[in-house]
Every structure is written in C-alpha cells, then in structure tokens.
Amino acid sequence: MAASMTMNRVIHAAVRRDLQRLSAALDDWREGDRARGGELERAFANLRAELTHHHETEDAYIWPMLASVGVDRELLTAMESEHEAMAEALAQTSTALGALAASGSTTDAAAASASVGRTREITERHLRHEEDELEPQLEPHHDSPEWKAVEKKLRSRPVGEIGRFFAWLTDGAEEPERRFLRSTVPPPVLAVFTRLIGRRYTREVAPLWRTPTSRH
C-alpha cells in the first residue's frame, strides 16, 4: 500500500527533482562553459537554501515536539546526525560548483558531478529514513495541539519566502504532489503564491535548469 502524501514528501520530491536536474546538467560538459557553471551554481544555491531551511526547522520544532510525545530519542538523534552529514555534503557541492563557475573546465565539471553524486546518496538515505521510520510515528499526532503549534511555527516565514517556496515546490511537480497541494492550500491562494509572489523564482531560478545561457 502506497504511503499517504504529506507536505514533507512534497518537499522531498522537490529536493530529489533538483538533485537529479543538477546531475543531468553536469553530463557531457562543454569545456570552458563558465556561464553554464554560474547558472548551476545559482540554481543549486536555491535548493541548498530550501533544504537547509527544511532541516533546520525540523531540528528546531519537529524533533523536540516528537520527543515530548515519547518518540524514541535515538531515532531523533540519528535524524540530527543525518542533517549534519547532509549540510556538510551541500557545502562541499557548493564549493565544487563555485570552482566550476570560475573555470568552466571539464575537470571541475567531473569533480562537481562526483560531489553531487555523494550529496544525492547522503540526502536520499536521510529522506528514506525519515519517510520510512519517522513519518509513521508523527502521523498519529497530526490532529494534536502539539502538532498544530508546530505547524504555526513552520508557516511563520516572510511572505516573499513563502512565495518562492511554493513556486519551487510546483516547478516540475508530478500530479500526486500537485493534487496534495491543491487539497491543503486553496487554489486561488496557491496561484497567488506561485505566480505572483513567487515570480522571482519562476523568472530567475526555474529557467536555469532548462536553458543554458550559451550554446552554439
């Protein structure tokens, strides 16, 4: 039986999507393409910011709430450790992409590709662990006052960041994720966030995955 869709899984899908895009974009690199290197560095910076915000809010709000309702502390400690490993991997990939943006060389593209591969492995291991072991322990508490308080904190981002977040979530999302978002966010509100407030993401980040600045 397939697991129920959650906002957590929608976010995870966006993370996986961007990492796959990045990996694909580094294939068949053209020597000296610094412009494309810069595009990928900027696109990855958005992914890193969103994923960092996601795991920092889990550390700050969700894990303490789960600890308070009796979830195994060893599991939560493992989650925190995996977040640290993921943050380190993201930093290493950011450095590798910075080198590629500076040189555009096939050597740096290969190094960046290897770094992205490691980051994907570390990230996927954590996402699977969270989905398989932690989400089932959170599900019984979705209607509890404790979880409602956490949700309120999770929504307390500046409006501009929320717009960017929803524009990112929906960029290339599959129908199960879109259907879930439509069921939890009124469609007119979702449209305002993604098309109006999130238009900077749509204009400045989304095209970087699809359209290299310079190809001959």
Where would I find the H helices in 63-186? Answer: 63-68, 73-103, 106-129, 135-138, 145-154, 159-170, 175-184
In a domain, 1, yes or no: no
In a domain, 216, yes or no: no
Residues 6+ positions from 198 with CB-CB distance below 8 Å: 163, 164, 165, 166, 167, 168
In a domain, 94, yes or no: yes
Single pTM value for the model:
0.94
For residue 77, the enclosing domain spans 7-210
In a domain, 69, yes or no: yes
Which CATH number goes with the domain that contains 159?
A: 1.20.120.520
Other beta carbons within 10 Å of 10: 19
| Residue 4 confidence (pLDDT) | 85
pLDDT digits (tens, 9 = 90+) for 32-54: 999 999 999 999 999 999 999 99
In a domain, 109, yes or no: yes
Other beta carbons within 10 Å of 4: 9
Domain count, the chain: 1
In a domain, 215, yes or no: no
Burial class (CB in 10 A: 0-12, 13-18, 19+), 7: middle
Give which of 33, 84, 31 is closest to 56, Cα–Cα: 84
pLDDT-based confidence at residue 3 (cuts at 50, 70, 90): low
In a domain, 47, yes or no: yes
Q: How far apart are CA 181 and CA 104, in angstroms?
A: 38
| Residue 20 confidence (pLDDT) | 97
Q: Average of pLDDT values for 128-148?
A: 93
In a domain, 17, yes or no: yes
pLDDT digits (tens, 9 = 90+) for 170-182: 999 999 999 999 9
Question: Does residue 163 surpass a pLDDT of 80?
Answer: yes
